[in-house]
Amino acid sequence: MLQVVYCNHQTAALSVREKLAFSSEKLQQAYAQLRHRFPGAEAVVLSTCNRVEIYTAQEATEAAPTHRELVEFFADFHQVPVAEFLEEFLERTGPDAVRHLFQVTSSLDSMVLGEPQIVSQVKTAYQTAQENDACGPLTHALFQGAIRVSSRVRTETHLAEGRVSIASVAVGEFGKSIFDRFDDKRVLIIGAGEMAEETLRYLQSEGVGEIVVVNRSAERAQALAAQFERARPEPLTELDRWLGAADVIVSTTGATPPLVDLDRFRAVRKKSGGRPVFILDLGAPRDFAPEIADIDDNVFLYDIDALNSTCDRNRKTRQKEIDQALKIIDDETDRFMQEIYHRATGPIVKRLREQWHEISRDEMTKLRTKLGHLNASDLESVERSVERIVNKLLHPPLEALRQEAKAGTPHGLVDALKRLFHIRDS
């Protein structure tokens, strides 16, 4: 059984998602608890600024973790009451779970349609699950399939054209509504991950005048700054200074508790002269307390959820590409499920064929001794007739098995065939 439980930017507010997010530091602990609670289940955790998801897989449906059990895992791990997120926490199983991951990895389920970062995030999540011994044959097949499907969507559609990164949409839409130009602006980047790098790449294309990178790890800040002109690293101890000196602030850390609370920014703001400042908070959990937006009229604070309306407009203009991508994903989902069901029914089909043809060969050996008066050609005709009879007798049960497998692994029919024809598990 394949399933996913999740919340994302479409189902839950950022205030809910940030409570349920898994930091990279806590993933090892999360996998340890998942193994303890669900010892027979494969699992992959995908936690980004826009979504929190756990994919699980198990051969036996009755032994798989239930929706409620996974919800309780989230509640216990994050110390968040179930009532605070239960309605926003959805479940998909079987083909629907596969289709969901394929859409996520292909960026159809992203806030910014066609954004490339999600593929890297899915790969990282899959790799982390492998490192924590949480994967198995079903999740291996599922995530390798998702990465392959995303490549096909990117190649066969135009979803990846235009503004497709969160940074390009946020800066392009919001930043340009505040500033006419960026070449005379000082930019502060807090964080040194992929989101920070993507934002820097876009800002450099806009010709920003000066870039300061601050990160908990000085080495990572230095490595990121070295990739861009007019960028330099600064120590985290100097954060307050640069918060007051920057015109544009982009934060991507997702620190807990918030990196900059109201009192801290208010103190910084008193020294800044009150000039306009554009703050783009891409962290989940958020890095800046939401109340900072109300300090004065020249503080423009936007978080991930503020992008929704802009991204919805972009989505409506690209419906043709979406439809084409969805068709690819539906075809790939059907193909994937058929392969999974074939894996489940393949062994019994093979053993049933082998068993019946072994019986026919044994009977033909006995028959040859009784039909010694026949020539080789006649004996071969008899043998072919026996083989055709066996195949015709096999056809009804195997066809029933094939038809039932289209809707899922037919455990009941498989068990019945084993009992009827005395097929033993190898």
Question: Which residues are identified as catalytic?
Answer: 49
Residues 105 and 118 sit within 8 Å (Cβ to Cβ): yes
Residue 385 CA to chain centroid, in angstroms? Answer: 53
| Coil vs helix vs strand at 228 | coil
- Token readout for 242 is 């640069």
Half-sphere exposure of 55 (CA within 13 A, CB side): 29
- Provide the edge-to-edge strand list for the sheet that holds 51-57: 42-47, 51-57, 2-8, 90-93
Distance from C-alpha of 368 to C-alpha of 364, rounded to nearest angstrom:
6
End-to-end CA gap in the chain: 22
| Coil vs helix vs strand at 2 | strand
Distance from C-alpha of 336 to C-alpha of 31, rounded to nearest angstrom:
26
Distance from C-alpha of 43 to C-alpha of 41, rounded to nearest angstrom:
6
Residues 17 and 9 sit within 8 Å (Cβ to Cβ): yes
Distance from C-alpha of 354 to C-alpha of 332, rounded to nearest angstrom:
32
Residues 254 and 285 sit within 8 Å (Cβ to Cβ): yes
The residues, ordered by sequence, that sit 6+ positions from 240 with a Cβ below 8 Å of its Cβ are 264, 267, 268
Interstrand relation of 248-251 and 186-190 (parallel, antiparallel or unpaired) = parallel
Distance from C-alpha of 233 to C-alpha of 272, rounded to nearest angstrom:
21
Phi first, then psi: what are they for 364, rounded to 5°? -65, -35
Residues 101 and 142 sit within 8 Å (Cβ to Cβ): yes
